[in-house]
Amino acid sequence: MAALVALIIIYWLLHSSGMIAILTSKSELRYLISQLGWLGPVVIVALMMLAIVMSPIPSGPIAMVAGAVYGPVPGTIYVVLGAEAGAIIAFSLSRFFGYQVVQRLPHAQTLMTWLHRDRSQAGLMIIVFASRLVPFISFDAVSYAAGLTPLAFWRFVIATLAGVIPMAFVITYFSEALISTNSQGMAVLLILITGITLLPLLAKVIQLYWRGK
């Protein structure tokens, strides 16, 4: 309850101060970060962490601005650090407090049985890894949901890191295009990016399928 109240207070402070509006505006956020100097990378990491832990805050604009202001490689490093730290916090909150919340939901037993049915650790790692490569799947929701599964903590950390690095690099690399394009063009570009990043995984699935045949 203390953690939940703290998150609500933080969100209320951000909303009342106008920070939420800035975080959803790529141009305003870019100007703010560029004016912070050496504090900019620290703010990027902190904002990415906050965006992962608190789902209403979008992480996409932060990643785009990081690439636009600092370039693909430094921007990727800052985004990955923030996203990984935020994912670990969300996973930990879910792992330690989530069971009590879920048990009170309708059909809780069915949900918990589905989450804990016979799945290998490797299989769960692949699910987490693949979800990180698809920008339309909520990064936050996957982190919280993974905490309710039997997936080992260190496996979650590795799967998330392996999946978030290529996606973060692609977004920061194409940050200028993503910032300047309209919403329809952005959707098309993200679909293309998703297709490219999922090609190795698709090839592996096809290989396993034919091997099974």
Q: Which residues of the chain have pLDDT under 70?
A: 17-26, 99-119, 135-136, 176-205, 208-209, 212-213
3-state class of 18 per DSSP? coil
- What's the pLDDT score for residue 22? 64
- What's the pLDDT score for residue 211? 73
d(CA 176, CA 142): 27
Helices (H) and strands (E) in the chain, counts: 13, 0
- What's the pLDDT score for residue 185? 54
Report the chain's terminal Cα–Cα distance, integer Å. 51
| Each residue's pLDDT tens digit, 171-187 | 888 776 666 655 555 55
User: In this structure, what are the phi and psi dihedrals at residue 205, rounded to the nearest 5 degrees?
Assistant: -60, -45
- What's the pLDDT score for residue 117? 59
Average pLDDT, rounded, for the chain: 77
| Each residue's pLDDT tens digit, 104-114 | 666 555 655 65
